[in-house]
Amino acid sequence: MSVVVLAGHDLPKLAQQTTRTCFDPVVVAFCQSVSQSLLKHPQARQYPELVALGFWLRESHLRRLQHRADVPKGIVQLPVGLVLHFTPANVDTMFVYSWVCSLLMGNKNLLRLSSNDSPVKRILLGILKDLFERPEYEPLACRNLFVSYPRDSGIGEDFSLMADARVIWGGDESVRAIRRLPCKPRCRDIPFADRYSVSLINGDQLTTGDLQSVAERLWRDIEPYRQMACSSPRVIFWLGSDELQEALMRCLDSLAQETEVSPGRSMDHLVAAQWLQAQDAAAGPIRSGPLSVVPVTCFRPELLLTHPGQSLCYLVSIDRLEQLEQQLDERCQTLSYWGVESSALWQWLESSTGPVMDRVVPVGQALDFSVVWDGVNLLNQLSRQVTAW
């Protein structure tokens, strides 16, 4: 079976390379070059996720990450070695974030990209290829290899045995399958499996003057990646007064009308709504349009089994924060909120006795990547902490 090299050099050369120091100046300069290329690229500006990535890769932001990654006296931070990345198929930019975290920690990297094609992916790989060809970045080109190969080819086993750490993006079954691949006894697995996310809107605090701003922030979380990213909200919990609930949904629908409609979107929404009705979970008729809303009596995670994404939201009314705990489980990744005091959220989280989500962020920031993702600090997990005194 052939391996298609998308960027970087070749596997034998990668294996021969040494690791680099954490936050190596060449790595930081390379990330800054990727940032500049993305922010200046005429096509990249059409995709908010690429613009967000460009800002995240700026040197000023990386220096803040470096400050946060500082280890106490008596600890030396070193790379883990060769990191094998199994990248996600549903979010084209996500692999760059975890790869850059590994790159900043001085590791060599082997990335298995999905065979899915998209304009975003083509822009990213084009930029990386161009930069790897520059003489000043040759030290990185020979230490980072991007490949694509058939899932059932057996090549993954060979790659897995080389790895000192594996970053695994995918559904639960994909994660289980990759974990069954043979690996070194001390190989670290960092899995990112199936998750879902929700939003919380406090209707008691919502005014007519807030509608457009809240809708724009909520749409910023819903629209990218066809709502299939793990941090994209698929459920809106509505706390308190529903007086302006319909008005906010109209504002969201107006924003959705400005985007390209996928073929079959309305039918997918209708099928999902009918399935909810068959489960006695639908609380009312579907509000159908470019953005579809299905009122749900009481949410439970299995109701997302038929959720198709593509701007479909389940709407659940609650009277108090504690009702969230009764309806969510450990698979909930992100809670984005509006109109709720952060102090009230922290108090609820600290007193909670059940499973709680890994991230709590304001509405509009659900898709913002952090080096702490799914409760895992990637900078720590992709480095070794050596005690020395």
Cα separation, 273 vs 152, whole angstroms: 36
Assess whether 186 and 212 both reside in one domain.
Answer: no
Phi, psi of 368 (to 5 degrees): -70, 125
Structure token digits, residue 236: 């809106």
Cβ atoms within 10 Å, residue 97: 17
16, 87: one domain: yes
Residue 6 pLDDT: 63
Entry pTM:
0.90
- Number of structural domains found in the chain: 2
Examine the domain organization and report whether 302 and 249 are in the same domain: yes
Same domain, 251 and 352: yes
CATH code assigned at 231: 3.40.309.10
Residue span of the structural domain in which 150 resides = 4-194+374-387
In tens digits, what is the pLDDT along the chain, a chain of 389 residues? 345 556 666 788 888 899 999 999 999 999 999 999 999 999 998 888 899 999 999 999 999 999 887 778 888 899 999 999 999 887 888 889 999 999 999 999 999 998 888 899 899 999 999 999 999 999 999 999 999 888 777 788 889 999 999 999 988 999 999 999 999 999 999 999 999 999 999 999 999 999 999 999 999 999 888 888 899 999 999 999 999 999 999 999 999 988 766 666 778 888 888 888 888 888 877 777 788 999 999 899 999 988 998 899 999 999 999 899 889 999 999 999 999 998 889 888 888 877 789 999 999 999 999 999 999 999 999 999 999 77
| 369 within a domain of the structure (yes/no) | no
Residue 290 and residue 310 in one domain: yes
Q: Where are the beta strands (DSSP E) in the chain?
A: 4-7, 75-79, 82-86, 108-112, 144-148, 165-169, 188-192, 196-202, 233-239, 292-295, 312-318, 332-338, 359-362, 372-373, 376-377, 383-387
Q: What is the CATH number of the domain that holds 85?
A: 3.40.605.10
With H, G, I as helix, E, B as strand and everything else as coil, classify residue 374: coil
The whole-number pLDDT of residue 1 equals 39
**CB 80, CB 165: distance < 8 Å:** yes
Q: How far apart are CA 367 and CA 227, in angstroms?
A: 10
Question: Taking a C-beta distance cutoff of 8 angstroms, is the pair 87, 94 a contact?
Answer: yes
Do 26 and 158 share a domain, yes or no? Answer: yes
Residues 148 and 214 in one domain: no
